[in-house]
Amino acid sequence: MPELADSATPVPHDEVRRYFEDAGPNPAPWTRDIAALRRETRDEAMAVRGHLESVAMVETLSIAGTLSRLYRPATPRLRGGPGGSQRDGSDRDVLVWLHGGGWMHGDLDCYDGVARAFANRAGCPVIAVDYRLAPEHPFPAGFDDVWATVEWSAANFGRVAVAGDSSGGNLAAAVAIKARDRNVDLAAQVLVYPVVESRTDTEFKRWFRARYGRFANQPDFGPATADRINYIWETYVPDPAARDCPYASPARADTLRGVAPAMIITAEHDILRGEGQDYARRLLADGVPVALCGYPGQIHGFFQMRGVMSAALDAMNLAADYLKREFGR
C-alpha cells in the first residue's frame, strides 16, 4: 500500500493518457438502461481489443445450460524428442477464462482476443464462459455457471486452471476456493486486478477516492470510481449479509490454505490494487505460492486493451508463461 501522506500527483502511462484523450464521457452505470450500458461497453471493448489471433478451432459449447466457447491453439505445445515433434499432452490441459464487466456486462466477443491469445501463448485449449449477469441474475447465478464449467472441465480434460479479470478475477478466485472445498484439483489461478473484497470502506479505497480526485484530466475520477464499486456490489449481491460468503468475496474466507497457486496482476492507478496486494499477502501467509506483478502507470481494464496498451501484450505473455509452468508441474 502506498504512503497515504504522499502528495505527488499520480502519473499515467503515455498510452493511458492518450486513451483518455480519445475516450468520450463515462456516465455512471446507474444512470443508464442496462441494455444500453451493455451495448456501449461492448462497443468500447471491441474498439480496443486489437488484432484477433488465428486459432485452430473455435467451438460453441453448452455446459449445464450455459453457453461457452472452446478455443484450441493454432500450435499445441511440443516436448523434446526427435525433431521436438511429440505432443506434450497439453491438449488435456484447459484454461477456464472468465470475463470482467462488474458482473453486469461483458461477453464472449468483448474478450475474444484475450481467449485466442491465451490459447496460442499458453498452448492449451481455453473455455470462455458466458455466465449469467446481474441485475437479472444476481449472486450466486454467475458463480454457479462458472463452477459447473469447472466441474465439467475437470471431468472432460486433464488439468484445469482458471483465470479472469476484474469481476472475472473474483469468480476465478471464488471457484478456486470452492475447488479446494470440494477436492477438485486446479493447476493454477490467474487473477487480473481482481475484485476480492466486498468491503467498500477499506483504507486503500478511501485513500484512492481522495488521492485521485482528478486523474489524467478526468474530473472526479477517484470519487466516481469508488461510487461505481459500491454500485456493482449492491447490484451483484443485493443482500449485504451474503457479501461475507467467500464465494462472493474471496477475501472473507477464513483461510486460503490449499487453494491453487496464483498469479495476481495489478495496475498502479486502480482502486482494486490494494485488495489485490492484500490478497497476495493472505495467500502467502496461508502457504499458497503467489506471483504478484504490478504494472506502473496503468489503469483498470488495460489487460483487454490489446489494441492500445502495450502493457496488455506483456501481461498476456507473462500470464501465459506462468500457466505453462504450472501445467507442467
Q: Active-site residue numbers?
A: 166, 270, 300
Residue 133 gets which letter from DSSP?
Answer: -
d(CA 134, CA 231): 12
Residue 83 in grid coordinates: 525433431
H or E element in which residue 290 lies: strand 290-299
With cell 484477433, the residue in question is 52
Strand runs labelled E in 38-135: 57-63, 66-72, 78-79, 86-87, 94-98, 126-129
Q: Taking the CA atoms of 315, 157, 253 and 236 in sequence, report the sign of the dihedral they define.
A: positive
- 73, with CB counted inside 10 A (0-12, 13-18, 19+), is buried
Q: Identity (one letter) of the amino acid at 206?
A: R
What Cα–Cα distance (Å) separates residue 292 from each residue in 13, 190, 192? 20, 10, 10
Residue 149 near residue 66 (C-beta atoms within 8 A): yes
d(CA 327, CA 265): 19
Task: Supply the angle between the helices 273-285 and 203-211 in degrees, to the nearest 10.
Answer: 150
CB atoms within 10 A of CB 254: 7
Q: Taking the CA atoms of 139, 141, 143 and 147 in sequence, report the sign of the dihedral they define.
A: positive
At 191 the three-state DSSP class reads: strand
